[in-house]
């Protein structure tokens, strides 16, 4: 059996005696027998480390790892620099606790401070928290930042990722919140319908950029409309796109959230990912979760500390606006290292390469018979096509060649994605195969 207990039987006996117990049963004697399990657990016997490796490896081998990925829909196959993996495996970062004791956590705290700074730079906002679970829960938490006694309803564009909308619905299902999802029109937010939906009871309007279909929204109009109705404007953004697109800060948004997985985290079958939340100076104290601040110690040295803690659950308890305790700290560190490695030019390059590859893919697919679903919309790194063949048939054929094709959508369309990792050759191969399926 595997064990990480250092003390030998002899040492355990010594300690029992020193503490005044005869045996282990004594330690649990006060627990009523009727609640004790009283038998062995019906699970397998323990294993040695080597056997554990073999068993887990064989499980992993039952998965198909696609060498070429053309699917996004919220989780992206971007290039992860080697230095990122190296830094985030440092044992201190991996095993440290939450930095409540500032004197022994300066490294952790400073790197979160750097993370907060970088997220503000990306989104153009003033303040960031230290992360929440993922982009979807970040969007959900932003709703509670905006709600107050008079404004309890939320307007969400139907062009937002359906998974995000699902999570917002679940989060709001406990507390009285009216959710109005305005269906998308031609692959974009229906501006007229959204404006008509905003009123004096609206807490916020949520729009995604680029949206779920990959299309770029003209957020100016939405921001103005939201503010005119007295509501807050929330943008859920792709962090890589922020290197080249107009930022939420530039639009005048009140809150910018999003999924940070693209910033150095592997796909990992869904997690752990990274929810980032940034906002204006004015709404700083509405942010949930931990926040690191800069200060000085008693000797005047610059140092870092968890601050504004009186917002949080461990102090406010039932008066806290969010229950969040653990966050995605190591993923935030991952983003910090990624953004340091990429720098402004590298991030711009990743964004531009993704755009270029996606547009090349789209043109070639169109030539092969996959018509664009939203030809009038401009897209970033994802786009939707019609499919002249049942998508499952196409996907099955691509799978044989180690290719994960675009995501089949409910209405028979396909949501494709390309990033800097897809070479021209990969794209050409995909298109050739797709063309063959049609014939």
Partner 1 sequence: MKTIFERSVEKRKLSLLPECDVPAVDLEAADRETPLDLPEVSENDISRHFSEMAKSTHGVNDGFYPLGSCTMKYNPKVNDEAASLQGFTNIHPLQPDHTVQGCIGLMKEAEKTLCEITGMDRMTFQPAAGAHGEFTGLLLIKAYHRSRNDLKRNKIIVPDSAHGTNPASAVMAGYEVINIPSKEDGCVDLDALRNVAGDDTAGLMLTNPNTVGLFDKNILEITDIVHKAGGLCYYDGANLNAVIGIVRPGDMGFDCMHINLHKTFSTPHGGGGPGAGPVGCKEFLADFLPGMLPAGEDQLYLKKPQNSIGMMKAYNGNFLILVRAYAYIIMLGREGIPEIAKNAVLNANYLRVMLSGKYVIPYKETCMHEFVMSLEHEKASMDVTAMDVAKALLDYGIHPPTMYFPLIVHEALMVEPTETESKEALDSLIKAFTEIYDKAVEDPEYIKNAPHNTIIERPDEVSAARHPKLRYIPEDN
Partner 2 sequence: MFHEWVKFADDETASVGITDYAQEELGDLVFVNLPEAGDDFAVGEVFADVESVKAVSDINCPLTGTISEVNEAIMDEPESINSDPYGAWFVKFEGISEQENLMDAAAYEKYVEEEKAKEE
Tokens of 203: 């807490």
x/- map, 135-164, partner 2, by CB under 8 A = ------------------------------
User: Does 319 help bind partner 2 (rule: CB under 8 A)?
Assistant: yes
User: Does 148 help bind partner 1 (rule: CB under 8 A)?
Assistant: no
Report the half-sphere exposure of 79 (CA within 13 A, side-chain side).
Answer: 17
User: Does 439 help bind partner 1 (rule: CB under 8 A)?
Assistant: no
**Which CA distances in Å does 349 have to 79, 83, 353?**
12, 18, 6
Q: In DSSP terms, which residues pair with 282 in a beta bridge?
A: none
Nearer to partner 2, 126 or 429 (CB): 126
- With CB under 8 A as the contact rule, which of the stretches 146-154, 184-192, 231-239, 308-316 interacts with partner 1? 308-316
CA-based radius of gyration for the chain = 25
User: Does 326 help bind partner 1 (rule: CB under 8 A)?
Assistant: yes
Three-point CA angle 139, 144, 150, nearest 5°? 135
DSSP run (H or E) holding 179: strand 178-182
Q: In DSSP terms, which residues pair with 425 in a beta bridge?
A: none
Which residues inside 277-316 make contact with partner 2, applying CB under 8 A? 285, 308-310, 315-316
Shortest distance, position 289 Cβ to partner 2, whole Å: 17
Q: For 207, which DSSP code?
A: E
Nearer to partner 1, 200 or 294 (CB): 294
How many amino acids of this chain bind partner 1 (CB under 8 A)?
A: 205
Which residues inside 226-285 make contact with partner 2, applying CB under 8 A? 285
- With CB under 8 A as the contact rule, which of the stretches 179-187, 190-198, 286-294, 365-373 interacts with partner 1? 286-294
x/- map, 217-246, partner 1, by CB under 8 A = -x-x---------------------xxxxx
Which residues inside 35-94 make contact with partner 1, applying CB under 8 A? 35-37, 40-49, 52-53, 55-57, 59-66, 69, 71, 73-75, 77, 79, 81, 83, 86-87, 89-94
Which residues inside 404-433 make contact with partner 1, applying CB under 8 A? 404, 407, 420, 423-424, 427
CB 434 within 8 A of CB 365: yes
CB 115 within 8 A of CB 128: yes
Q: Measured in whole angstroms, how far is the alpha carbon of residue 403 from the centre of its chain?
A: 24
385: three-class secondary structure by DSSP: strand
3: three-class secondary structure by DSSP: coil
């Amino acid at each position: 059996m595997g064990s990480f207990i250092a003390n030998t039987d002899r040492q355990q006996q010594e300690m029992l005696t020193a503490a005044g117990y005869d045996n282990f049963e004594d330690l649990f004697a006060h627990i009523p027998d009727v609640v004790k399990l009283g038998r062995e657990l019906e699970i397998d016997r323990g294993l040695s480390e080597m056997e554990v490796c073999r068993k887990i490896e064989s499980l992993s081998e039952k998965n198909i790892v696609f060498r070429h990925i053309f699917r996004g829909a919220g989780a992206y196959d971007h290039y992860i620099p080697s230095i990122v993996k190296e830094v985030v495996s440092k044992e201190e970062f991996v095993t440290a606790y939450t930095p409540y004791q500032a004197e022994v956590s300066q490294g952790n705290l400073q790197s979160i401070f750097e993370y907060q700074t970088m997220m503000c730079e990306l989104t153009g906002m003033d303040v960031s928290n230290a992360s929440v679970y993922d982009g979807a829960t970040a969007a959900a938490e932003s709703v509670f930042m905006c709600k107050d006694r008079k404004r309890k309803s939320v307007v969400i564009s139907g062009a937002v990722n359906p998974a995000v909308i699902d999570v917002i619905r679940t989060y709001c299902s406990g507390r009285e919140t009216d959710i109005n999802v305005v269906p998308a029109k031609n692959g974009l937010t229906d501006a007229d319908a959204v404006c008509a939906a905003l009123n004096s009871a609206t807490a916020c309007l949520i729009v995604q950029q680029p949206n779920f279909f990959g299309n770029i929204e003209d957020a100016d109009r939405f921001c103005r409309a939201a503010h005119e109705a007295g509501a807050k404007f929330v943008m859920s953004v792709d962090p890589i796109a922020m290197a080249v697109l107009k930022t939420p800060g530039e639009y005048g948004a009140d809150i910018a959230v999003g999924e940070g997985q693209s910033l150095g985290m592997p796909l990992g079958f869904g997690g752990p990912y990274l929810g980032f939340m940034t906002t204006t100076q004015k709404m700083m104290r509405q942010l949930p979760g931990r926040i690191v601040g800069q200060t000085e110690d008693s000797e005047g040295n610059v140092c870092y500390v968890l601050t504004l803690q009186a917002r949080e659950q461990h102090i406010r308890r039932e008066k806290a606006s969010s229950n969040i305790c653990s966050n995605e700290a190591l993923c935030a560190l991952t983003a910090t290292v990624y953004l340091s490695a990429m720098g402004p030019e590298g991030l711009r390059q990743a964004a531009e390469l993704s755009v270029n590859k996606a547009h090349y893919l789209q043109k070639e697919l169109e030539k092969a018979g996959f018509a664009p679903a939203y030809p009038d919309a401009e897209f970033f790194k994802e786009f939707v096509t019609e499919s002249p063949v049942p998508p499952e048939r196409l996907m099955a054929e691509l799978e044989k060649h180690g290719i994960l094709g675009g995501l089949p959508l409910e209405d028979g369309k396909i949501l494709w994605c390309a990033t800097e990792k897809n070479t021209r050759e990969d794209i050409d191969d995909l298109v050739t195969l797709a063309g063959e399926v049609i014939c």
